[in-house]
Amino acid sequence: PDLYWRQEPNVELTDKTQEEWDKAFALLNGFNIDKGVEDIASTIAFVRTLPSVTGGVGAVGYCLGGLLAFLTATRTDADSAVSYYGVNLDKFLGEAGKIQSPLLMHIAEEDEFVPAEARAKIIEALKDNPHVEIHTYPGCQHAFARNNGIHYVDAAAKAANARTLKAFEAMR
């Protein structure tokens, strides 16, 4: 879904200019997390009605979407979710006990938007959940898997994307 439709429909941003960074943070700060998860739940419900959908329905998200993928695993009936470098996730760890379907997490070990203490808290809180698989990426910064992004790391992105594909193939 177009997650920012309430603020600015069809917005597209890159990480190439300070103006785009500023706009991204303004949208992030004004984003209603609960409404965003409701939009995802509605999207999942709609997708399940499509005749071409014969397997599970999953969600993948990056940055804010990484947080939303975690919350999708805690608040919706998605069959699987994948979180890439989710931000502010440590503030929602109280919901971790609600995860009942697979959640794959990709965590950048040098993420400038997720402090080391927050990363450690996330890993500690989720490490014993049998539905959660966590992979960390040494030397990687936020958005290491963003094609043509300023922090793109080819080997890490390929490893994360292969794990993501495997997770979604398991839903068939």
Task: List the catalytic residue out of 2, 111, 151, 154.
Answer: 111
Other C-beta atoms closer than 10 Å to the C-beta of 29 total 7
Cα 17 to Cα 146: distance, rounded to the nearest angstrom: 15
Residue 135 among the catalytic residues = no
Cα 104 to Cα 82: distance, rounded to the nearest angstrom: 5
φ/ψ of residue 74, rounded to 5: -95, -25
Q: Which residues on neighbouring strands pair with residue 80, listed in sequence order?
A: 58
Cβ–Cβ < 8 Å for 4, 11: yes
DSSP string computed for 6-34: TTSTT----SSSHHHHHHHHHHHHH--HH
Of 82, 88, 148, 83, the closest CA to residue 118 belongs to: 88
Task: List the catalytic residue out of 15, 90, 142, 151.
Answer: 142
User: In which residue are the tokens 């700060």 written?
Assistant: 29
Residues belonging to the active site? 111, 142
